[in-house]
Amino acid sequence: MAIALRKPQEIEKLRAANKIVAGALQLLKENTKVGITLKELDAMAEEYILSHDAKPSFKGLYGFPNSVCCSLNEVIIHGIPTEYALQEGDIIGFDIGTEYEGYFGDAAITVGVGSISTEDEALIACSKDTLYFAIESISEGMRFKELSYLLEQFIEKRGFVPLRGFCGHGIGKKPHEEPEIPNYLEGKNPKAGPKIKNGMVFCLEPMICQKDGTHKILENRWDVVSADGLRGSHYEHTVAVINGKAEILSQL
């Protein structure tokens, strides 16, 4: 299946959907405090999205029951919001999708609750720094496999490993489109596969494990953890390739 090339007016619609995501994530970050429950945060973001005439696109997607993926501590992605009240020293990942006028937005952050350990600070910094490094590295004509290889190298230089079995992805009139963009090189040749072109819009989302990148899915069939049982982190932006470089759409 071909990777879509978006016209400028389509990119602006995707930017509008992603700005709503960015606003919802900012709201959650400001309200990530000791005592608030994951369900309260989920409801807060949903209300924000609806108030901006958008839909929370994760709700019902593949059967997901909520608007926000709330991934607590050892859960790296796809966490289901519960009545758990945040405690000092927790870390929490928020992943939000929107649909606005037929176009989709998607982004994620991981934040600490109160004072967190230096180890958790480094873990969160790895996912965030990897994301921005990758975005700055994108140029028209490079291959997606080269991008995956850069992501993997950056993560490993920080002393962590990428979560395996999950990936970044294209986005547009559907929440998930071609291509798939793992945070590690599949195969041995980074110079193979499709090239990045102007007009492409996709999500990059480093998912970081501490020792073992093998994933496990918990009994609720959603929460994804590492086989090492340790805490993980996740950051994501939607980007568009414009004039040969990647521009972040999911920011205020």
pLDDT digits (tens, 9 = 90+) for 42-73: 999 999 999 999 999 999 999 999 999 999 99
Strand order in the sheet with 207-209: 161-162, 207-209, 233-234
The three-class DSSP label of residue 113 is coil
Extents of the domains making up the chain: 8-248
Question: Band of the pLDDT at 29, cuts 50, 70, 90?
Answer: very high
Average pLDDT over residues 139-152: 98
Mean pLDDT of the chain: 98
Residues in the chain: 252
Mean of the pLDDT values across residues 181-198? 97
CA 136 to chain centre: 17
Residues 210-246 have pLDDT tens digits of 999 999 999 999 999 999 999 999 999 999 999 999 9
Residue pair 90/112 in contact (Cβ under 8 Å)? The answer is yes
User: What pLDDT shows up at residue 72?
Assistant: 98
- At residue 1, the pLDDT reads 64
* Topology of the domain comprising 8-248: Creatine Amidinohydrolase (3.90.230)
Give me the pLDDT at residue 109, please. 99
